[in-house]
Amino acid sequence: MGELYLEDFAVGLRFISETHQIDAGQIKAFARQFDPQPFHLDEAAAQTSFFQGLAASGWHTAAITMSLLVKSGMPIAGGLIGAGGEIQWPKPTRPGDVLQVESEVLEVKPSRSRPERGMITVKSETKNQKGEVVQILTSKMLVWKKTAHSQA
Amino acid sequence: MGELYLEDFAVGLRFISETHQIDAGQIKAFARQFDPQPFHLDEAAAQTSFFQGLAASGWHTAAITMSLLVKSGMPIAGGLIGAGGEIQWPKPTRPGDVLQVESEVLEVKPSRSRPERGMITVKSETKNQKGEVVQILTSKMLVWKKTAHSQA
pLDDT in tens, B60-112: 999 999 999 999 978 999 899 999 999 999 999 999 999 999 999 999 999 99
Provide the shortest C-alpha distance from residue A87 to chain B (in Å).
Answer: 5
The predicted structure's pLDDT at residue A31: 98
Provide the shortest C-alpha distance from residue A105 to chain B (in Å).
Answer: 19
Provide the shortest C-alpha distance from residue B137 to chain A (in Å).
Answer: 9
The predicted structure's pLDDT at residue B100: 98
What string of H, E and C letters represents the secondary structure of A33-68? HHCCCHHHHCHHHHHCCCCCCCCCCHHHHHHHHHHH
Instruction: State residue B132 phi and psi, 5-degree precision.
Output: -80, 140
ipTM: 0.94
Please name the residues in contact with A107: beta carbons below 8 A apart, sequence gap of 6 or more: A11, A119, A120, A121
Please tell me the distance from the alpha carbon of residue B128 to that of residue A77, in angstroms, as a whole number: 30
Binned at pLDDT 50, 70 and 90, residue B35 comes out as very high
Binned at pLDDT 50, 70 and 90, residue B150 comes out as low
Instruction: Write down the mean pLDDT value for chain B.
Output: 94
| Whether residue B152 has pLDDT greater than 50 | no
Q: Using a CB-CB distance cutoff of 8 angstroms, which residues of chain B are in contact with residue A79?
A: 37-39, 49-50
The predicted structure's pLDDT at residue A139: 97
- The upper half-sphere exposure of residue A140, i.e. CA atoms within 13 Å in the direction of its Cβ, equals 15
Minimum-distance CB partner of B86 among A36, A50, A86: A86
pLDDT tens figures, B37-66? 999 999 999 999 999 999 999 999 999 999
Contact B57 A50 (CB under 8 A): no
Q: What is the pTM (predicted TM-score) of this model?
A: 0.94
| Whether residue B26 has pLDDT greater than 60 | yes
Q: Using a CB-CB distance cutoff of 8 angstroms, which residues of chain A are in contact with residue B91?
A: none
| Residue positions counted in chain B | 152
